[in-house]
């Protein structure tokens, strides 16, 4: 967000940042992404420069870069709505926040609190699973062989950040 006099915004982690770094592991938070919930279509919404995660048979989460536009809804939601008539398209940027895990140890850290199978053969690049991680509902998408994006509800973000810091101690 830009302003001539003052720009002010706060993510779900407040003034903390998630910044874990080890030889084979990094975890950072990526607040202020533009997140758009799309329901009622079985074909993937297309947005340039965004990840599109399939959360259910006709349910998608578009994960796009932060927007500078000051608007009630993001430009991404507006353009998707005209591209997908009949679908429900809602900006949910404040619903979840994004944590990014990279490195060969990323999967091992999540395995401390998650029974989901995150093997690349089960979860290839571009695929997404939803389930529980350390008692918090999350969706986990793979963006690379060693890179996972984790979407967690804003009210669980501080809990999950604390849990991730603790779980990653042995990998630092």
Partner 1 sequence: MLTLPCPFCGPRDETEFGYGGEAGVAYPERPADLDDAAWAEYLFLRANPRGWFTERWVHRAGCRQWFTVRRHTVTNEVVPDAAAQEVR
Name the residues that contact partner 1, by CB under 8 A.
Answer: 55-57, 59, 115, 129-132, 137
What backbone phi and psi angles, to 5 degrees, belong to 154? -55, -40
CB of 54 to partner 1, least distance (A): 9
CB of 56 to partner 1, least distance (A): 4
Surface-to-core class of residue 118, CB atoms within 10 Å of its CB (0-12 exposed, 13-18 middle, 19+ buried) = middle
Residue number, 45 or 103, with CB nearest to partner 1: 45
Q: Tokens 């000051």 sit at which residue?
A: 70
Number of H helices, E strands in the chain: 3, 10
Residue number, 47 or 138, with CB nearest to partner 1: 138
Residue number, 63 or 105, with CB nearest to partner 1: 63
CB of 18 to partner 1, least distance (A): 22
CB of 76 to partner 1, least distance (A): 22
Separation in Å, CA 52 to CA 36, 45, 125: 9, 7, 11
Residue number, 61 or 77, with CB nearest to partner 1: 61
- Three-state DSSP state, 142: strand
């Amino acid at each position: 967000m830009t302003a001539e006099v003052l720009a002010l915004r706060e993510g779900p982690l407040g003034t903390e940042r998630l910044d874990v770094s080890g030889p084979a592991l990094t975890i950072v938070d990526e607040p202020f992404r533009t997140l758009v919930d799309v329901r009622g279509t079985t074909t993937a919404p297309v947005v340039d420069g965004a990840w599109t995660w399939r959360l259910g048979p006709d349910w998608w989460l578009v994960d796009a870069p932060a927007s500078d536009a000051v608007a009630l809804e993001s430009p991404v939601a507006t353009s998707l709505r005209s591209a997908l008539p009949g679908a429900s398209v809602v900006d949910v940027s404040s619903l979840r926040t994004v944590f990014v895990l990279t490195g060969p140890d990323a999967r091992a850290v999540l395995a401390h609190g998650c029974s989901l199978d995150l093997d690349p053969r089960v979860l290839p690049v571009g695929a997404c699973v939803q389930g529980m991680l350390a008692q918090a509902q999350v969706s986990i998408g793979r963006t690379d062989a060693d890179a996972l994006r984790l979407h967690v509800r804003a009210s669980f973000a501080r809990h999950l950040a604390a849990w991730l810091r603790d779980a990653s101690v042995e990998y630092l």
